[in-house]
Structure 1
Amino acid sequence: MAVTAFHWTNFLIRLVVAFVLVFATYNPSGHSWVHWFIESTNKLDPLIILSAVILFIGWAIYLRATARSLGLFGSLLVVALFGSLIWAMIFYGWLSLDNPSVLGYVALALLSLLLAVGISWSHIRRRITGQIDVDDVETDI
């Protein structure tokens, strides 16, 4: 039987996994898969390829779930919300364009948040509205 309860801890777990996925793929610190691949002399190192496949699987899961739950319009709304949030942070001086790595960290954190909301949206929507999303319906014919 499926677990129907969805709590903040469930969302936080999805958010932490999204952060690991996004920041393991790329981050401004120089310690990421992209940097590892670029700096590697052997681009066909089995560990580089294995980690790329693992990251690709993670991205496929998160992007597919986000696309199915939020859709294009919902994803654009979230991106617009986050874009206006970054704009407000810059406008009011909370975020400076002088240090691009800080802006990069904020953008990557917001991307992680988008993925976490996307993979959790069906649960959140059910809690807010009481409506259930059904992707696959099996019928006994």
Structure 2
Amino acid sequence: MGIILRWLGAFLLLSATYNPTQLNFTRWAEANWQTQMPLTLLLGLLLGVGYMIYIGATLRSIGAFGIILVAAIVAAMVWVLIDYQILTLQNPSLNLWLGIFALSVVLGIGLSWSIIRQRLSGQATVDEVQE
């Protein structure tokens, strides 16, 4: 359940920042920058903190190679769905949602990697202490 919540958090973070609808921070900020600058800045900083948490944890847990590997697996899954004609890439909005989904899977796995690894191997992950 925790892994799904971490993925959902990543999905919400990405889709709140930008998505094909009018309901996203980027479009809201463009429309309200002049009249709501302090609120726009505050919300942008909060989103930035969310990205710092997710990207930092992902880089520490799976690294650049892991990010590429997870992204390649998601891309291969999309390719299989396209090959079996379950999915088509003719709709630009759907393509953007697929991109948001793919990035959220990468970030969700990155944030959940120690849990996944512990469940698969039975070994706990311990952070290294640097003095």
Moved beyond 3 Å, runs of 4+: none
Offset of residue 29 of structure 1: 1.1
Offset of residue 24 of structure 1: 0.5
Indicate the structure with greater helix content. Answer: 2
Offset of residue 73 of structure 1: 0.9
Equivalent residues in 2 for 1:129-140 (5 A)?
129-137=121-129
**Per-residue CA distance 1:65-123 (angstroms, 9 max, x = gap):** 01111111111100111111122222222222221111111221121121111101011
Q: Which 5+ residue runs of structure 2 have no aligned equivalent?
A: none
Measure the CA separation in 1 of the matches of 2:27 and 2:92: 17
Equivalent residues in 2 for 1:114-125 (5 A)?
114-125=106-117
> Quick one: which amino acid aligns to residue 62 of structure 1?
Y
Q: Which has the larger Rg?
A: 1
* TM-score (normalizing by structure 2): 0.89
How many residue pairs get aligned? The number is 131
* Of 76, 87, 96, the match for 2:79: 87
Give the percent of matched residue pairs that are identical in Structure 1 and Structure 2: 38
Contact persistence 2:33–2:40 (CA under 8 A): no
SS of equivalent residue, structure 1 residue 28: coil
Q: CA RMSD in A?
A: 1.9
> Quick one: which amino acid aligns to residue 12 of structure 1?
I
SS of equivalent residue, structure 2 residue 41: helix
Contact persistence 2:74–2:102 (CA under 8 A): yes
* Match of residue 67 from structure 1: 59
* TM-score (normalizing by structure 1): 0.83
Contact persistence 1:95–1:103 (CA under 8 A): no
